[in-house]
Amino acid sequence: MSESPSEHDIAQLIRARFPVEPVRSVPEIRLHRAARTSGLSRMAEADAGFGNPYWTHVWGGGLALARHVLDHREVVADKRVLDLGTGSGLVAIAAAMAGARDVIAADVDRYAIVAVELNAAVNDVRIETLLADLTAGPAPDVDVVLVGDLFYEAELALRVTAFLDRCVAAGVSVLVGDPRRAFLPMERLELVAEYPGGDFGSGPDDVAMNAVFVFG
């Protein structure tokens, strides 16, 4: 197995293998996306730290959040925003395009962080990236936290919920995007809007009803 690639190498690889395409249901935004020729399995074989490439796909909650933020810019306009578990950076980019004063895109995947930086450049927006797991720490110094699709596993859902509790206690507004996965804490959520769109693993013609909620 080869040595773990540098950020420069990862960026070169993404540019070469992941074509830039407009996002389904959010065509204002373009992202580097996985294609049949991207070679995800080869990347995993070459780098033990490659992990699950969730950032290469668009997820339903992120689609809903991005659409909602672009259609309701007052949610983030002139505010400091954190996109938790940013993945490809879709929601962070939407927040920046909607007039957020500062946008932080956080993820635990170094490939995702590089992809966000490239995708921000493609969309001509400025985003601060952060390679870290924030769920074990205190509430961040932001006005709004955006959370898309982080309730797909029980243990992760518990950690995220506890983190969001600290955010709300600190006066931070929290919006969650999700297609109502099994571990979503529905008792803590107030439905704001629903948007038809795809989801992770769905086909090009499949439509899911993705939702945006206020967490409180």
Looking at residue 2, the DSSP 8-state letter turns out to be: P
User: For residue range 112-165, what is the model confidence (pLDDT) as tens digits?
Assistant: 999 999 999 999 999 999 999 999 999 999 999 999 999 999 999 999 999 999
Task: Give the model's pLDDT for residue 1.
Answer: 40
Mean pLDDT of the chain: 90
> In CATH, which of 3.40.50.10860, 3.40.50.150, 3.40.50.1370, 3.10.129.10 is domain 51-215?
3.40.50.150
pLDDT beyond 60 at 181? yes
Task: Give the model's pLDDT for residue 208.
Answer: 75
Domain boundaries, the chain: 51-215
End-to-end alpha carbon distance in the chain: 46
205-210 mean pLDDT:
74
Strand bridging mode 20-23 / 26-32 = antiparallel
Residue with the bigger pLDDT between 49 and 136: it is 136
User: For residue range 75-102, what is the model confidence (pLDDT) as tens digits?
Assistant: 999 999 999 999 999 999 999 999 999 9
Rounded Cα gap, residues 98 and 182, in angstroms: 30
pLDDT beyond 60 at 178? yes
Please list, in sequence order, all residues whose beta carbon lies within 8 angstroms of the beta carbon of residue 146, skipping any fewer than 6 positions away: 65, 69, 76, 81, 82, 83, 84, 91, 92, 95, 174, 175, 177
Rounded Cα gap, residues 66 and 62, in angstroms: 6
Please state which of the ranges 34-43, 91-100, 117-126, 179-188 shows the lowest mean pLDDT: 34-43
